[in-house]
Structure 1
């Protein structure tokens, strides 16, 4: 026996499902909106980077070869073997890593302390101090470096004048000399890297301070107030509440600082007065000097640039992966 179901004549009609083609078109809209940005990134970043990678695989030692007819003399991985087996490259890599680590630590510590100070100040005083701090960050790298180079000038610099103003006995007892006129502050590697670190930290910490301040403004005040009621001091509150909540912010700032400090070029080039001071070389200026100083070696210079990019990608990948793991936990 079969049964049949009847639909009441006044039952509302079921709406027809949307067309499959319309749903497919809607799914492509975000990619179409991102397409102009991807084209710009490819034209301004990926294409030049690809050209550098290609040049690192060829033996190019003159402008005539670079601008001449193809094919270029293919070298394969010979440039990479030459660079990685060069003892001077290992010295430059050591200088770069130590300099970057020291600058990242100092920049993060000073920027965090200034951010905490701005958070505790009143609105007017915080605006005034924050504006003064941002002047250093807003100053172009070239302008700021020239100013610092004048400050450490061996004849008319402010630092030379201050040391000459010390009593001769005190200066001789502390530093072993009483006359500082003509002293080359940028000649010894230790003093050079100390001044370069001062310049980089001075120019970089305002960004860290403002970023930390923005993160502190987003924290719930109830947690800090509860910790204060429970008797936790500023140090305990920072490490138990503030730092865990702002860990993603600190992670991004560490990544950015690492990238910036590994790529330092303008400040070192200006302070050193060019590419003659090889004991103070780092990867960026080493790549530039190899590619453009006579005799030019464009293939080796491109190889050093690729190695530097690979190091930065590895460092960034490690930080991003650690942040993602923390977010999952």
Structure 2
């Protein structure tokens, strides 16, 4: 018998899904998308009423010249075009406020994130009961209204009866009796920054502590066996895993701190001096303190435009994390 060479068998082509099954899956996806939009509609309508309409009115007002007379009589304010924006963008005082707000945001967010990360790392190393106590204490700080916290700091730094002056004055050779912390802008901003950082650490620490639970212990143990130091493990293992969460909490902190209003407003008793003005307080002072409503609206619109880039970056990061998940 002679061997007959048989050609090698080629693999069968992958079976194609039936057209009916594809159509059924497509219809189900469309139905789920419609259901999602339908369930979200009440929330979208509420957001449109609470946010979109006031924003539209603010933008419209910034192109008008609303004065006290129009506010009282209800007459339509005269159209001013871009006059309010030109006035703001050519005003050195306005750009000084922008620079001051930006510097404060960078400094306060940097300190907050670093301290929050440090507290989160500490929470992963202490005993579980100590960790629980730390979380409860930080939750109380987080739940404290900003106005109440600002009032407490105002009492602490009071020039006549403040506990801070009393304690510093006890240091030999130091005279801090009746010291005013807000005469010097550097000291005043140090108090404001301390208050903002103190109030922001609970959110950062608790969020980052939860993120640290996702770092595999096996990787850290293997790095330790290989001779890596704690700093090397943090830099090469922990921080890369925490990067998405760090990006989100940092962006949120930038958004919150850039809109600083309550802390410096309360600490200065509702009359912040020019060196303590931020964009939020400056627009409010111009609109309601000096009855320049359209000018204050223009400043608010510029503030929103400055924040759009940060908000777009935050939304982009959220979508990227969602795609990974």
2:203 alignment partner, one of 207, 217, 235 = 207
What is the aligned residue count? 304
Deviation string, structure 1 residues 242-272 (Cα, Å, up to 9, x no partner): 1111111001111110011111111100111
1:303 alignment partner, one of 294, 298, 302 = 298
Mean Cα displacement is larger for which, 242-251 or 229-238? 229-238
1:55 alignment partner, one of 58, 61, 78 = 61
Give the deviation of 1:187 after TM superposition. 2.1
Native 8 Å contact 1:290 1:298 kept in 2: yes
Native 8 Å contact 2:120 2:209 kept in 1: yes
Native 8 Å contact 1:186 1:271 kept in 2: no
Give the deviation of 1:133 after TM superposition. 2.4
2:224 is aligned to 228
1:272 correspondence with 2:272: no
Give the deviation of 1:274 after TM superposition. 1.8
1:261 correspondence with 2:252: no
1:32 correspondence with 2:38: yes
Give the deviation of 1:208 after TM superposition. 0.1
Give the deviation of 1:320 after TM superposition. 4.9
* Structure 1 residues 67 and 251: alpha-carbon distance in aligned structure 2, compared to 1, 3 A threshold: farther
1:137 correspondence with 2:132: no
- Write the mapping of 1:54-203 to structure 2, written as runs, cut at 5 A: 54-62=60-68, 64-66=69-71, 68-167=73-172, 170-171=173-174, 178=175, 180-203=176-199
CA RMSD after TM alignment: 2.6
Structure 2 segments unaligned to the other structure (5+ residues): 1-19
Give the deviation of 1:314 after TM superposition. 1.3
2:5 is aligned to none
* Structure 1 residues 61 and 131: alpha-carbon distance in aligned structure 2, compared to 1, 3 A threshold: same
Q: Specify the SS of the correspondent of 2:158.
A: coil
2:278 is aligned to 282
1:43 correspondence with 2:49: yes
Native 8 Å contact 1:275 1:285 kept in 2: no
Give the deviation of 1:319 after TM superposition. 5.2
Question: Given the two structures, how large is their TM-score scaled by the length of structure 2?
Answer: 0.86
Give the deviation of 1:317 after TM superposition. 2.3
* Structure 1 residues 22 and 90: alpha-carbon distance in aligned structure 2, compared to 1, 3 A threshold: closer
Give the deviation of 1:164 after TM superposition. 2.1
Q: Specify the SS of the correspondent of 2:124.
A: helix
Between the aligned partners of 2:212 and 2:34, the Cα distance in structure 1 is 39
Question: Given the two structures, how large is their TM-score scaled by the length of structure 1?
Answer: 0.85
Native 8 Å contact 2:252 2:314 kept in 1: no
Give the deviation of 1:321 after TM superposition. 4.8
Q: Specify the SS of the correspondent of 2:93.
A: helix
Give the deviation of 1:70 after TM superposition. 4.8
Native 8 Å contact 1:80 1:303 kept in 2: yes
Q: Specify the SS of the correspondent of 2:47.
A: helix
